[in-house]
Chains A and B, each alone.
Chain A
Amino acid sequence: MKHSAKPRLRVTLALAAAAVTAVALTGCGSNGEAAQTDEPIQFFLSGDANQGGGYAHMAEKYEEETGVEVEIVDIANDDLATKLRNAAQANDLPAIARVGAVDPVWRNATTDLSDITEGSEIRTDLSDKDDDGNVISLPSDITAVGMFINKTLFDEAGVAYPTSEDDIWTWDEYVAAVKEVQAATGTTYGMVMDKSSHRLKALFYEFGSDYFQADDEGVFSTNDNTKDALEFFGSLNDDSFMPRSVWLSDADPNALFKSGDVVSYLSGSWQIADFAVNIADFEWASVYMPQEEERATNFGNAASVVVFEGPQQEAAHDFIEWLYEPENYTELSETSSFIPAIGGLDIEYAAHADAFDIYNQDIAASPDIVGEIKAMELQYGAQGVTTDGDPVRDETVKYLNGEQDVDTTIENINALFTDQLGALE
C-alpha cells in the first residue's frame, strides 16, 4: 500500500523550493528604507472614512491643484499608536500623522509648525509645544461632550426640554424630565453614557470639581465636589435610569440609543454625522448639557496633526499649511462635520447646524478649568509621561460594581495618577 514515493517527493521539493523563493522575493522589497521624495506623502490617521472622509477629499483636491499625491492611510484606532511607535523604532515614520496624543517615543522626530500658526487663528492652546516653545502639533478639530435626546419620545410624552440658553436645566430637573418621559412612554431606560472618563469629566466640571491635579511634589488630589459628582453618577446607575451593563460590561451605548429604547444619550459631537445616517426610526435632537454648580462641557482637540522629519518633510509641510488655510479648512470641516480648531470661521454644516450651534454655545460657556486640565495633560505629554490606560474610568467601574466605596475610589485614582505622572516640571 505504499504510495509511489518519487512523484510525491518531487512535488514536495518543488513546493519547498517555490516557498523559499517566494519568501526570498517578498523579503527583498523596499524594506525599511524611508520613503523617497517622488513617492506619495503618507498620512497616517484613523477613522477618516467613518467620519465623512474629509481628509481623503482634501487630499484629492490637493492633488488636483498641485499634482502632489497625498496617500491617506486609515488605520484601526487601537493600532495607530503601536504602528507609529514601531515605525519610529525602525526609523521608518510616515510623513504626516493625526494622532490622539503625542507619543514620547517619537516626540523628537516631529518638525516645527510655528510658521503655520503664526498670524493665524489656529487654537494653539490645544497644540503641543516642545521645550524651545516651538509648535510641534496642530489641533485637528474640536470635539465636545454633549447630550442627545430621543425627540420623538419627548414629544410623545409632552415634556419640554430647554431650547435656549436662558432656561438650561439642572441635573435634577433633567433627571425628573427624563423619568417623566420614561414613565409616559414606557421606555426601558432614561439615559446612557459612553464608558469613558472623557464624558465623565463633563459631569465633574458641572459639579464644580477641580478634577485631579498635582501639587508641587507630584501628589494628586481633588476637591469634595468630585465626590458629590461620583456619588450622583452612582445613583443614576441603578439599572432603571441607566443600564448597568454599559459601564460594567462594555454594552454598546450607541446601539442602545439607536434602538429607541433609551430616552437620552450623553456622548459628543462626533456622533452627529453617524446619527444623521443611521437613525431612521425616530427623531433625535441635541440639547444643552445640564448644569449644576457650573455650566460646562468637556471639549478639546479630538486629535493632533504632526509632521515628521524626513526626506518628504517639506512637501508634507506644504500640504499641512495648505490644509490649514481658512478656505480649505472650512471645506474639511464641512465634509467631516468637524467643529473647527481655527477661530473665526463660518462653517456651513450640511445638516443639523442647530446641533452644532448648541455645542459652540456650551463650549463658550465652559469655565476655565476645562482648558486648564487640557493644558496640564499637554504639559505631561511634553515631559514624556502619559497614562496609557484610564484610571478614572477603571476605578469608577469598580465603584459602580460595588467592589469599593467612593472614598477608596478617589484615593485609588489619586494614587494611580501620582504613581504614573508625578510632578509637573
Chain B
Amino acid sequence: MTLRQEARPRRRGLRSLPSTLLLWLLALGFIIPVAWFILSSFKPGSELFSLPLRLFPEDWTISGYTTAWNRFNFAQYFLNTSIVAVVTTVLTVLVSAMTGYAFAKYKAWWLKFFFICVLATTMLPTEVIMPSSFAVVRDLGLYNTLAGIIVPSIITATGIFMFRQYFKTIPDELLEAARIDGVSEFGAFWRIMLPLAKPIAVVLAIFSFQWRWNDYIWPLIVLRDPDRYTLQVALRSIVGADNIDWSVLLSASVISLVPMVVLFAIFQRQIMNADVNSGLKD
C-alpha cells in the first residue's frame, strides 16, 4: 500500500493521461446514441424527422412527456413492475446463490448433470417456447397474476452460473476450516460463503431487477387485466398498427429508464467498495 501511495503524487498527472483519454473516448462513443435519444424526447413530433438532422432540439418541449404521463397510468405500472422486480430479485439471488454454491463446492455426477440442464435453459429461446410456456402457466392457475410472472423468472442460468464461478474462486480451505470447526453445511453457507459473495449478489440483483423491469414476454403471455400491466407492456402499446407516435414513445421510454439509473447509481458503490479482500488474504 505504501509503495503505491508514494508513486502516485509524482507521476499521477502524466500517467493517468492515456488511460483517462481512452476511457473518455469510449465513454463518448457510448453516450452519443443515448444523448440523441434523450434529447429527441424533448423535440416536438414535427422536428424529429426534418432535415438537416440536429442533435439539440430547436423547440424544446415536454409535450411528449405530458401526453405519455396522462395516457398511461404510470403510477400503477411502476407499482406493478416494482413489486415483480423486487420480489423476483430477492428470490432469484437466494436461489441462485444456493444452487451456484452447490455446483461450485460439491461434487457428484448428478450435480454436473443438473448444471448442464441449467445451462440448457439458456438454449431454448423464450420467444420460441412461448406457446408451451403459456400452457404450463395456465395449468398452474397463474394466469393473470403477478405471481405468474414472478415464479417462472426466479430460476436464471446466468445467475446460477455467476455464483458458481464466483464461489469457485474462493479456496476450499475456507470451507474445510469451517467444517473442522464443526460448522454445519448450511451454517458454512449462510455465515461464511454468502457474505463473501456480496459483490456478485449485488451485481445479480442489479441484473435481475433490470431483466424484470424490461421484461415483456412473460407479462405478454400471462397478464390480461390492464391494471396488472407492467411498464414494458404499456410501452409496446404505443407502437400502433401503421404508425408510431415517436415523441410519446421516446418520452415514455425515458420515464421508464429513470428508476433503473437511480438504482444503479446508488448500488454501484456497493460493488466497488465491497470487501475486496474479505477473508482471502492469508
Contact = CB atoms under 8 A, between A and B. Distances in A.
Interface of A: 1-3, 5, 8-9, 12, 15-16, 19, 22-24, 26-27, 29, 31-32, 46-47, 49-51, 71, 73-79, 82-83, 86-87, 89-90, 92, 94, 100, 194, 254-256, 258-261, 267-268, 270-271, 274, 277-281, 302
A245 B12 CA distance: 50
Contact of B46 (A49, A267, A279): A279
Contacts, number: 150
Contact of B195 (A3, A51, A77, A194): A3
A87 B190 contact: no
B87 A259 contact: no
B-side interface mostly: helix
Given A89-B134, A90-B138, A254-B243, A76 B233 contact: yes
B190 A82 contact: no
B143 interface: yes
Interface of B: 44-51, 71, 83, 87, 90-91, 94, 130, 134-135, 138, 141-148, 150-151, 187, 190-192, 194-195, 220-221, 224, 226, 233, 236-246, 275, 278-279
Contacts of B83: 22, 26
22 contacts: A1-B279, A2-B192, A3-B191, A8-B195, A22-B83, A26-B83, A26-B147, A27-B145, A29-B144, A31-B142, A46-B237, A47-B240, A74-B237, A76-B236, A79-B233, A82-B130, A89-B138, A90-B138, A268-B242, A278-B46, A280-B44, A302-B241
A261 B87 contact: no
A86 B246 CA distance: 29
Contact of A270 (B144, B242, B246): B242
B190 A9 contact: yes
A268 B242 CA distance: 9
A79 B150 contact: no
Contacts of B135: 89
B237 A76 contact: yes
A16 B94 contact: yes
A31 B240 contact: no
Contact of B190 (A5, A73, A86, A260): A5
A92 B224 CA distance: 8
Contacts of A100: 241
A262 to B, nearest CB: 11
Contact of B240 (A26, A29, A46, A267): A46
A77 B187 CA distance: 52
Contacts of B87: 19, 22-23
B51 A32 contact: no
A16 B90 contact: yes
B96 to A, nearest CB: 14
Given A31-B143, A86-B134, A260 B243 contact: no
Contacts of A83: 220, 224
A400 to B, nearest CB: 21
A266 B129 CA distance: 38
Contacts of B194: 8
Which A-B residue pairs are the 3 nearest by beta carbons? A47-B240, A76-B236, A27-B147
B240 A258 contact: no
For A2, A76, A78, the residue with the greatest tally of chain B CB atoms inside 10 Å of its CB is A76
A173 to B, nearest CB: 28
B242 A46 contact: no
A153 to B, nearest CB: 13
A5 B191 contact: yes
Contacts of B151: 23
A76 B239 contact: yes
B42 to A, nearest CB: 16
A298 to B, nearest CB: 14
Contacts of B190: 5, 8-9, 12
Nearest to A72: B226
A27 B142 contact: yes
A271 B90 contact: no
Contacts of A255: 48-49, 246
Given A26-B83, A281-B46, 14 more contacts: A23-B91, A23-B151, A29-B145, A32-B141, A71-B226, A79-B233, A79-B237, A194-B242, A254-B244, A255-B246, A258-B49, A271-B243, A277-B45, A278-B45
A387 to B, nearest CB: 17
A266 B126 CA distance: 36
A77 B239 contact: yes
Contacts of B49: 255-256, 258-259
Contact of A78 (B145, B191, B224, B239): B239
A394 B74 CA distance: 38
B50 A281 contact: yes
Contacts of A280: 44, 46-47
For B49, B141, B220, B279, the residue with the greatest tally of chain A CB atoms inside 10 Å of its CB is B49
B150 A26 contact: yes
A179 B221 CA distance: 49
For B130, B221, B233, B240, the residue with the greatest tally of chain A CB atoms inside 10 Å of its CB is B240
A221 B66 CA distance: 52
A19 B90 contact: yes
A161 to B, nearest CB: 23
A270 B244 CA distance: 12
A409 B132 CA distance: 34
Contacts of A92: 143-144, 224
Contacts of B147: 23-24, 26-27
B144 A47 contact: no
